[in-house]
Structure 1
Amino acid sequence: MNQNYIKPNNWSIIEEGFQTDRVKSSESLFSIGNGAMGQRANFEEHYSGPTFQGSYIAGVYYPDKTRVGWWKNGYPEYFAKVLNAPNWIGINVEINGEQLDLFTCKRVENFKRELNMQEGWLSRHFVATLKNGITIEVITKRFLSLELDEVGAIQYSLKPINSDAEITLKPYLDSGITNEDTNWDDKFWDTTNVVHDNHQAFIEAKTMKTSFNTCTFMESQVFINDKALKIEPRINVEANYVSFSYKHQVKQNETYTIHKFGGYVVDTKHDKNELISAAKTVLKTALKAGFNTLLEDQKTAWKVIWSMSDITISGDVKAQQGIRFNIFQLNQTYLGRDSRLNIGPKGFTGEKYGGSTYWDTEAYCIPFYMATKDQKVARTLLEYRYNHLAKAIENAEKLGYSNGAALYPMVTMNGEECHNEWEITFEEIHRNGAIAFAIYNYQRYTGDYSYLPEKGLEVLIGIARFWHQRATFSTDKNRYVILGVTGPNEYENNVNNNWYTNYLAQWCINYTIENISKIEDEYASDFTRIMNKVKLSTLELAEWKSVAQNMYIPYSDKHNIYLQQDGFLDKELITVKDLDKLQRPINQKWSWDRILRSPYIKQADVLQGFYFFEDQFTDEELERHFDFYEQFTVHESSLSPCVHSIQAAKLNRMDQAYTFYLRTSRLDLDDYNKEVHEGLHITSMAGTWMSIVEGFGGMRIKNNQLSFTPKIPDQWEAYSFKVNFRNQILKVHVSQTETKFELEGEAKLQLLVNNTPVSILPMHLVTI
């Protein structure tokens, strides 16, 4: 059974009723972020029950030494840990001397938690009766400012219901925190300074090894019935901790409120010797605005984001809630403001996986950011990889490659490989191909070729050199083969000739050669600069061509399909529908040995290649491969349902496409994979967006034009989305009977709709 406690709602994630066994899951689902920092939805007040404390600062990490039983040459020295940062949200509460703790209260009633995605805030409401008999009503609201992205704000209000009470509010900062995810239980933070000044407090702390210098700060104001109180707090300072105590006699039914402003300043943006001064400046701005004005600014900022990125669905609240949840979390994680940052697979919602960058960015996220932001945001994501090219070459050198061959990391923070599973670090090399494909995809969609001569071609040459050296000539097959790899299906390791990897390698080499030729003809000065830098010879180019032309592509004549890899048909081919449901998910029920010998596919593998390169295959070929491989796919990767939804829609299997869409859009909300307590699946959320825009909307680039083949599930009345295509905003509205197109911009736009040319003028509605 999937979880089913989130209330269906168009714009909010809502939980009603307090149950301790779902606290960790809700901490993930109700997470908030603003691109620069984020936090799980931990309670402000003390909670002694099972909880996963997590606050995170974008780009701040710790190189946790790799832990393995048998060290292998080329192993990454560390696994980059997303760091639980000093906690600034805490507000301990005492009522007549007893600590408020929902885990130990006599009763908790009327509990409601809401994440308002339209306006960007998190709230809670509950009525609690403590062991001392006092009943209080609590209402909280907090948000992380999009405008002042170093600041978060909390409004925490208490009302004694059944008697007067002495209430003490204790806002605090705590740098004595630990990570859930750690290899050696290292100390990650070194607290260097704990200071207070009037109603302000600051903890300076730096990360061990990486030496990120941070200052966590807070300032608070207290109110009775919305009237400001002047209370001099009692201050408690410890080695890693500082708290203020605001004690007040509160009459029955009076409301005692604290506004707490807090956050982080980091030496990536400020002088490390001036962090407290920078924090004071930020606090001054926040306090001057006040909680309510900052909240209004937050609503305005989210209104701007939603005006471009929203997808509306009529007639299916769960589907609507799902897509907005995905779009909301993507925007909370990455806004394109800092070229050093990327889209981590857990964002700011957990610590699993480590690192900030996977191939997910190029394969799944770039289309979302290209179409819903200015194209500069997607270009920034490409430049992130260009900036790491020297490290990618270094990564390849560690594994024995030479001559500028580049192997981009599977997981990284700074360009170095930092994943410590051998089958991924050494073998899941297809990530190189996704990075090359993203360059192609960006140029295809935006029409901006300039990135290739300026930066992209150097990346492609490094990748092509890697594929050239990674391939082995088989005298038996008289072809080049690629041995010992892991494809996108991580349930098979150390296989030979994974079709997706071989095909991608062949495509990368051909695409690189094509662009070398184009840049030589059309960008002579760039060509000369690049060739002087990379020292590419005609002999080397000829060797590349030989590898591409003679690449072995595994194929089954019996089934008339490309084989996922050599030996796939040797497996016991029992389909998923014949697998005992009690054995699912197999990654939690089976040994790894059993998984590796099974035919079960974690996510799209061959079908991932058909998704990337669909123009190179017929619909009949897609259908044949879809029918063969989907029956063995367990979809235990968050990245799987979206690709299958897009392809099912292309094949007019709308019921199947809709089922896959619901799974990808509500993967975390309904906890399909029984792991949401660890954090959300942020990068796959971009795949949910693709499921609608590319799947149901059928958006493609054909003949250098936008093309649509709109379809709609029977379960929906209508849906709509916007795309920014080459600085023109196109709105698409699809109903059961027609499709409408509206264009913002100054020039007309030529489209293909169901392969028929359509011309759209600005501010004109075209109905088809």
Structure 2
Amino acid sequence: MNLNYIKPHEWKIIEEGFNKEHITASESIFSIGNGAMGQRANFEELYTGETFQGSYIGGIYYPDKTRVGWWKNGYPKYFAKVLNAPNWIGIGVTINGKSLDLSTCKVIDFKRELDMRNGVLSRSFIAEFDDGDIVKVLSTRFLSMDIQEVGAIKYSVTPINFQGEIAFSPYIDAGIMNEDANYDEFFWEILDQKETGDEAYILSKTLKTGFLVCTGMKNELILNEFNIDLEKEVSSSDKSIIYSYKTMVNSGDTFSIVKYGGYTQSMNHPDAELCNVSQRQLIKASELGFDSLLERQDKAWEKIWDTADIMISGDIKAQQAIRFNIFQLNQTYSGSDSRLNIGPKGFTGEKYGGSTYWDTEAYCIPFYMSTKNKNVAKNLLIYRYNQLDKAIENAQKLGFNKGAALYPMVTMNGEECHNEWEITFEEIHRNGAMVYAIYNYVNYTGDVGYIASHGMEVIIAIARFWSQRATFSADKEQYVILGVTGPNEYENNVNNNWYTNYLAKWCMEYAIENIELLKENYPEDYVRIAEKVTLDESEINTWSKVAGQMYFPFSEKYNIYLQQDGFLDKELIPARELPKSERPINQKWSWDRILRSPYIKQADVLQGFYFFENIFDQESLKRHFDFYEPLTVHESSLSPCVHSILAVKIDRIDKAYEMYLRTSRLDLDDYNHEVHEGLHITSMAGTWLSIVQGFGGMRNFNNSLSFDPKIPKNWKSYSFKIIYRDHIIKVFKNHEGCKFYNESDTPVNITVSGKEVTIFNKDLVIL
């Protein structure tokens, strides 16, 4: 299969020509969303070929009983899964009694476009039936960023060589099953159905979790741009409502249906009001009309792109890729609701259950706090704060006490719902990412008050976990952390993973630092928090002792920190010597063979160097990069971006560019042969990082903003904006130099390549 069929374009994702082998991949790539809901790019009309029907609603999930481990002590009983929601986009189309189905028709001039400037998905084609009838079809669809509970479709059919009867059959199908259901269960209960005029509503309730969702549709019919009224036929079942409208159409005339649809749900409205609210929203949308709703869509996305866009000149595939990544991140999370988070697949598929991972804290926070109001990133932190009690419960189940917290590897509501022991119980480095995200946010935004209002409680609970998880080794006379898995999941149950040990040390020291900060600057908050969590000086002294005596595996031979105690026992054969036929190893090798190999799934030691680059010197970074990068197979979507950023730092620009393309076009070019399952949303934030922190060299260590811009030889120039402490700074870089523009009303101090610069309000600095 051709994995590179997406046409290069600066602002659009384009597919030309109809290929059945591309259907499920394109359903992922052309997905649309608005932060509250999202859907794969399924056809509106019937398609009997292979397809993956998918519509999803933010925050709506089901605790699917796990297949293994639920009977074991400490194991999660379920895996939380985002629910495949009722389908409201469906429009059956018949031409003189024949179903329009691209799986059986001859398809000519097929074209699909996703316009990233405004989130509009369009599709056009000509279909020829067996009897020779030919129709031209155009569909346009978007999920409103302005009215987040509504989406709109305009679907038009034009007979080319005949006159005859065309029927549209818009429907709601509430009987959709999750593709990834463990026991082939249907996760919904249908409570009610309502039909009125050209509207229809189905009220559904999730089993176990009890979320209520009203799915609605409202239809309008147009013949040659004039609205018409047609009698409808109704066909209902216990899980669906289908309307059918028929009319005679002459050759060259265009018959269109505008369908408004969407969801209202019980997280946002009283149960008894859901269908009434849905009706009001759909009426509001239809009164505005498709074109006005689209104009509002344009304006909403224009505002997003104003601060989020990155412009690259001279490399159209790189330009398309970064915008695709930025676009998908904004479709997935808008930041207005602290109950929502970012699943690794977003609204594009069901793999990973749509749940929250440490990806958010490690990779996504910088993107949202640099391109949006700081409250967007703050809401991501509050999401974890609100789940602190659950994190403490998770730790208690594993034997920890005194308020120690272990945040889950995978969650919807704060409970752990991942049940692979080597990850659930051992990939505890995720706890460190929670604290690092707080540090990152406070350091970047200057919002120190967040430590007092929310952050300190989380930091203390995690420091308690680390002090209890560490073991004093009489042999080493240091503290060790045994039986863990680092970010590199190709090593399980190892001792003293350097990244994990370093994070543990840093978290405890950061806790002590912030306790002193509260005592001095927020004494009332300190007393309140200390009483609430029963904190005393002896416990703080324990953290200091454990952090100060933490063990780190080190090789004198290579003068590097070792990934874990036994890493040098492996046969260190570079990844470049692996035959292509054996890549990716996670699809070609046994797990036993992978665990005994030296190959690294994603940045591990280098992840720590990325987080704490200011602590290690340039020569140390080069040594570690040169040792570990050749052993890294980058079979995690989170790996290339970190390597790209560090490669720029040590002036390996060609390697950085290689890694940038890998992270940015991971889905567009389907590097891992898995895009049909959904997109890699959280790693898309890493693509943004690879330009802004990589080539742009942006850093924010020690409460200071700095840049060290560099440019790949493939590019003529690039530019981006960041929001920093209420300033909007535009950075432009080409091969001749760089420019910095302060779009805000007050001066801002930055450092550029070691030189301190003040950019006054509305001022341009050329360097």
TM range (shorter): over 0.9
What's the offset of the Cα at 1:186? Answer: 1.7
Mapped partners of 2:96, 2:354: distance in 1: 45
| SS of equivalent to 1:516 | helix
Mapped partners of 1:336, 1:590: distance in 2: 40
| SS of equivalent to 1:467 | helix
Mapped partners of 1:696, 1:94: distance in 2: 53
Mapped partners of 2:17, 2:71: distance in 1: 49
Aligned match of 2:314? 315
1:405-420 correspondence runs (5 A): 405-420=404-419
Mapped partners of 2:5, 2:386: distance in 1: 44
Aligned match of 2:554? 555
What's the offset of the Cα at 1:420? Answer: 2.0
Contact 2:71-2:77 at 8 Å conserved across structures = no
Mapped partners of 2:218, 2:310: distance in 1: 38
Aligned match of 2:675? 676
The letter for the 2-side match of 1:340 is R
Aligned match of 2:426? 427
What's the offset of the Cα at 1:711? Answer: 0.2
Show CA shifts across 1:316-349 (max 9, x none).
Answer: 0000000000000000000101110011110000
Mapped partners of 1:748, 1:579: distance in 2: 53
Aligned match of 1:594? 593
Mapped partners of 1:168, 1:59: distance in 2: 36
Unaligned runs of at least 5 residues, structure 2:
none
Indicate how the Cα distance of structure 1 residues 2 and 364 shifts in structure 2: closer, same or farther if over 3 A, else same. Answer: farther
| Aligned: 1:7 with 2:7 | yes
What's the offset of the Cα at 1:69? Answer: 5.8
Show CA shifts across 1:646-671 (max 9, x none).
Answer: 00000111111001001111000001
Aligned match of 1:46? 46
Contact 1:2-1:672 at 8 Å conserved across structures = no
1:613-762 correspondence runs (5 A): 613-762=612-761
Mapped partners of 1:573, 1:738: distance in 2: 41
| SS of equivalent to 1:239 | coil
Mapped partners of 1:420, 1:250: distance in 2: 57
Number of residues paired by the alignment? 767
Show CA shifts across 1:131-154 (max 9, x none).
Answer: 232111100000000000000000
| SS of equivalent to 2:273 | helix
Aligned match of 1:585? 584
The letter for the 1-side match of 2:759 is I
Aligned match of 2:484? 485
Aligned match of 1:112? 111
Contact 1:642-1:688 at 8 Å conserved across structures = yes
Aligned match of 1:244? 243
Indicate how the Cα distance of structure 1 residues 95 and 269 shifts in structure 2: closer, same or farther if over 3 A, else same. Answer: same
| Aligned: 1:765 with 2:752 | no
| SS of equivalent to 2:353 | coil
What's the offset of the Cα at 1:70? Answer: 7.7
Aligned match of 1:279? 278
Aligned match of 2:94? 94
Contact 1:355-1:411 at 8 Å conserved across structures = no
Contact 1:444-1:704 at 8 Å conserved across structures = yes
Mapped partners of 1:586, 1:2: distance in 2: 22
Show CA shifts across 1:22-58 (max 9, x none).
Answer: 1000000000000000000000001010111000000
| SS of equivalent to 1:7 | coil
Aligned match of 2:141? 142
The letter for the 2-side match of 1:458 is E
Mapped partners of 1:225, 1:559: distance in 2: 75
Aligned match of 2:187? 188
Mapped partners of 1:500, 1:165: distance in 2: 69
Show CA shifts across 1:153-179 (max 9, x none).
Answer: 000000111111211100000011101
Aligned match of 2:266? 267
Show CA shifts across 1:705-724 (max 9, x none).
Answer: 21010100000000000000
Indicate how the Cα distance of structure 1 residues 234 and 2 shifts in structure 2: closer, same or farther if over 3 A, else same. Answer: closer
Mapped partners of 2:70, 2:122: distance in 1: 48
What's the offset of the Cα at 1:273? Answer: 1.1
Mapped partners of 2:247, 2:654: distance in 1: 60
Contact 1:125-1:138 at 8 Å conserved across structures = yes
| Aligned: 1:84 with 2:57 | no
The letter for the 1-side match of 2:359 is D
Aligned match of 1:505? 504
Show CA shifts across 1:554-598 (max 9, x none).
Answer: 111111110000111111211101001110111111111111111
| SS of equivalent to 2:289 | helix
Mapped partners of 1:52, 1:72: distance in 2: 34
Show CA shifts across 1:631-660 (max 9, x none).
Answer: 110001000000000000001111110010
| Aligned: 1:204 with 2:203 | yes
| SS of equivalent to 2:384 | helix
Aligned match of 1:25? 25
Mapped partners of 1:69, 1:130: distance in 2: 52
Contact 1:79-1:355 at 8 Å conserved across structures = no
What's the offset of the Cα at 1:2? Answer: 7.2
Mapped partners of 1:202, 1:355: distance in 2: 26
Contact 1:59-1:356 at 8 Å conserved across structures = no
Mapped partners of 1:542, 1:334: distance in 2: 40
1:434-449 correspondence runs (5 A): 434-449=433-448
Mapped partners of 1:122, 1:743: distance in 2: 35
| Aligned: 1:604 with 2:620 | no
Show CA shifts across 1:213-272 (max 9, x none).
Answer: 010000101111111111011011110010110101111111010000000000111111
Mapped partners of 1:331, 1:376: distance in 2: 15
Mapped partners of 1:723, 1:69: distance in 2: 45
| SS of equivalent to 2:368 | helix
TM-score by length of 1: 0.99
Contact 1:405-1:463 at 8 Å conserved across structures = yes
Mapped partners of 1:369, 1:69: distance in 2: 36
What's the offset of the Cα at 1:209? Answer: 0.4
Contact 1:222-1:257 at 8 Å conserved across structures = yes
Mapped partners of 2:303, 2:573: distance in 1: 50
The letter for the 1-side match of 2:148 is D
Contact 2:490-2:594 at 8 Å conserved across structures = yes
Mapped partners of 2:87, 2:550: distance in 1: 54
The letter for the 1-side match of 2:29 is L
The letter for the 2-side match of 1:272 is D
1:303-382 correspondence runs (5 A): 303-382=302-381
Mapped partners of 1:59, 1:69: distance in 2: 25
Contact 1:2-1:671 at 8 Å conserved across structures = no
The letter for the 1-side match of 2:693 is E
Contact 2:70-2:76 at 8 Å conserved across structures = no
Indicate how the Cα distance of structure 1 residues 478 and 2 shifts in structure 2: closer, same or farther if over 3 A, else same. Answer: farther
* Bigger mean CA deviation after superposition, 231-240 or 532-541: 532-541
Aligned match of 1:159? 158
The letter for the 2-side match of 1:291 is F
1:118-133 correspondence runs (5 A): 118-133=117-132
Mapped partners of 1:745, 1:306: distance in 2: 17
| Aligned: 1:464 with 2:452 | no
| SS of equivalent to 1:432 | helix
| SS of equivalent to 2:609 | helix
Show CA shifts across 1:367-397 (max 9, x none).
Answer: 0011000111111111111111111001100
Mapped partners of 2:585, 2:618: distance in 1: 32
Mapped partners of 1:377, 1:177: distance in 2: 32
Contact 1:94-1:167 at 8 Å conserved across structures = yes
The letter for the 1-side match of 2:7 is K
Mapped partners of 2:223, 2:569: distance in 1: 74
The letter for the 2-side match of 1:78 is Y
Mapped partners of 1:355, 1:307: distance in 2: 29
TM-score by length of 2: 0.99
What's the offset of the Cα at 1:104? Answer: 0.9
| Aligned: 1:383 with 2:386 | no
Aligned match of 2:292? 293
* Bigger mean CA deviation after superposition, 274-283 or 37-46: 274-283
The letter for the 2-side match of 1:309 is A
Contact 1:315-1:716 at 8 Å conserved across structures = yes
